[in-house]
């Protein structure tokens, strides 16, 4: 950074980043000092000049300089400007900054910390406008108002018993899975399901087959524990099990989304399901089935879960209420094989992970009083219609674009617009996001697969054909731009 003329170009500022700009400048300068790129005694550009070079208000730079002066990284020399503190001799070992901005991210970028807001075309969000909220509030209100004294002690570590019973019944009826309530463990969302599995069964350095592309949260959780990730390609029958066995037959886990692969929507074929189960049985490995949206099929009946074929007890089945009800519940569940009940019970006694009892009780009532089945039926009909709106809007407004092909599987909650491999889906996505469209780039979900590019478009909150056309029109202009 020695040359003052180039100084501003070394400070990259991202105005879309949730961190305020003055803090970004502060962190960048602090990083440069710690890394030794700015030497003790070196002069920094004046606040006025740096603000003008960066196109910012002078006060923004002033705030950053003031923080660094306060912490002793910089010193003010009045008329002769601001310098890196001469007390920081280059022999000092300076601490690494914990919350520095990523320069280049090796891990896939994740959406920013979420809040309640949502935008058109957002992925994986159920139709919030059609959720029976009055009914829900009535059921939930009862559990808040009449909270029994008996429930003031420690809540049940594996989850509220009536909910575990309701889920066991539901899994039997709707997903073809036979299990006892004791096999069901309630968790605070799917991430918490995965962490419970890993806390209980993971051994240092275990290998895991992940579908490529794959749900980012799952990949992050496996990466975090240090698992060796083995990416496995997807074709029109789902995960290529033969390839996986050839690549790493001794993997300890296989994480799959058999109903609709996340995010391509492909259903895992029966021969592949059987091959996967045989491999897990022969190898004593674990299959984690993420059945996040298996209910949403718009032609024929939803396929039974892979777990329904599990005769040898190798499948850990994960379900969530985020798609079939709403994500703010933060409630998911795990069905473990009978042989594993005790291990998992011991684990949740050490670190219980279930959501609040009142929430669990409300979900149990919602299922037991048949509202759940009615809601699912209504949502299937609604999503089929909304999916149709989006497909029609795309074929009318985007079909003239040659580098684009729409993928329409008969399930799930989103569509994919495949792009030719030279088209940068991340660039289009960034542009679309800055214009208020919450599309996602398919390539962001890929591990090693560099051929896939495309846009993921949620249809569940598209309220009408006119609404779909309005969003697609906007997207069309951005793609052409």
Ligand X SMILES: Cc1ncc(COP(=O)(O)O)c(C=O)c1O
- Residues of this chain that interact with ligand X (CB under 6 A) are 124, 189-191, 215, 257, 262, 290, 292, 320, 322, 327, 332
CB closer to ligand X out of 265 and 337: 265
The minimum distance between CB 446 and ligand X, in angstroms, equals 15
The minimum distance between CB 323 and ligand X, in angstroms, equals 7
Contacts of residues 135-143 at CB distance under 8 Å and 24 or more positions apart, as own/partner, are 135/371, 136/362, 136/366, 139/362, 139/365, 139/366, 139/369, 139/371, 140/358, 140/359, 140/362, 142/365, 143/358, 143/361, 143/362, 143/365
The minimum distance between CB 334 and ligand X, in angstroms, equals 11
Closest CA to 177 of 319, 327, 354, 373: 319
The minimum distance between CB 447 and ligand X, in angstroms, equals 14
CB closer to ligand X out of 7 and 253: 253
The minimum distance between CB 458 and ligand X, in angstroms, equals 10
What is the DSSP code (8-state) at residue 28? Answer: H
CB closer to ligand X out of 259 and 393: 259
| Cα separation, 184 vs 443, whole angstroms | 35
Q: At what angle do helices 161-175 and 357-368 cross, to 10 degrees?
A: 40
Angle among Cα 372, 318, 165 to the nearest 5 degrees reads 50
CB closer to ligand X out of 352 and 412: 412
The minimum distance between CB 401 and ligand X, in angstroms, equals 27
| Cα separation, 196 vs 190, whole angstroms | 10
CB closer to ligand X out of 189 and 411: 189
CB closer to ligand X out of 51 and 186: 186
Bridge partners of 404, per DSSP, are 419
Residue 80 CB coordination number (10 Å) = 8
The minimum distance between CB 288 and ligand X, in angstroms, equals 11
CB closer to ligand X out of 30 and 414: 414
| Cα separation, 230 vs 191, whole angstroms | 20
């Amino acid at each position: 950074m020695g040359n003052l003329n180039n100084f501003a170009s070394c400070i990259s500022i991202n105005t879309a980043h949730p961190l305020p700009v003055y803090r970004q400048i502060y962190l960048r300068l602090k990083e440069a000092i710690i890394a030794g790129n700015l030497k003790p005694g070196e002069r920094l550009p004046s606040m006025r000049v740096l603000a003008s070079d960066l196109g910012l208000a002078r006060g923004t730079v002033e705030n950053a300089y003031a923080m660094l002066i306060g912490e002793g990284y910089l010193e003010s020399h009045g008329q002769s400007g601001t310098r890196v503190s001469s007390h920081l001799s280059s022999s000092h070992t300076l601490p690494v900054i914990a919350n520095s901005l990523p320069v280049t991210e090796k891990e896939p970028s994740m959406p920013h910390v979420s809040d309640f807001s949502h935008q058109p075309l957002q992925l994986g969000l159920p139709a919030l406008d059609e959720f029976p909220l009055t009914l829900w509030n009535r059921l939930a209100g009862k559990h808040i108002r009449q909270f029994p004294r008996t429930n003031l002690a420690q809540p049940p570590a594996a989850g509220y018993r009536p909910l575990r019973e309701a889920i066991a019944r539901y899994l039997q009826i709707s997903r073809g899975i036979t299990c006892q309530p004791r096999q069901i463990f309630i968790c605070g969302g799917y991430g918490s399901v995965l962490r419970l599995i890993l806390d209980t069964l993971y051994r240092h350095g275990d290998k895991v087959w992940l579908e490529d592309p794959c749900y980012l949260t799952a990949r992050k959780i496996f990466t975090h524990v240090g698992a060796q990730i083995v990416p496995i390609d997807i074709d029109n029958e789902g995960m290529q099990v033969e390839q996986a066995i050839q690549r790493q037959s001794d993997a300890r886990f296989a994480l799959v989304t058999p109903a609709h692969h996340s995010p391509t929507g492909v259903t895992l074929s029966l021969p592949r399901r059987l091959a996967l189960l045989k491999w897990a049985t022969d190898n004593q490995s674990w299959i984690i089935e993420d059945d996040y949206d298996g209910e949403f099929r718009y032609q024929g009946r939803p396929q039974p879960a892979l777990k329904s074929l599990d005769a040898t007890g190798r499948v850990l089945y994960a379900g969530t209420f985020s798609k079939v009800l709403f994500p703010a519940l933060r409630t998911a569940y795990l069905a473990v094989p009978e042989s594993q009940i005790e291990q998992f019970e011991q684990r949740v006694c050490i670190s219980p992970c279930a959501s609040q009892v009142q929430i669990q009780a409300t979900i149990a009532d919602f299922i037991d009083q048949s509202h759940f089945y009615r809601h699912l039926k209504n949502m299937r009909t609604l999503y089929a219609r909304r999916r149709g709106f989006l497909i029609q809007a795309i074929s009318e407004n985007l079909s003239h674009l040659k580098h684009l092909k729409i993928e329409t599987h008969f399930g799930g909650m989103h569509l994919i617009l495949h792009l030719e491999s030279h088209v940068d889906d991340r660039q289009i996505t960034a542009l679309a996001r800055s214009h208020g469209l919450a599309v996602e780039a398919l390539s962001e979900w890929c591990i090693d697969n560099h051929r896939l590019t495309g846009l993921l478009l949620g249809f569940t909150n598209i309220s009408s054909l006119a609404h779909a056309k309005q969003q697609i029109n906007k997207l069309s202009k951005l793609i052409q731009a």
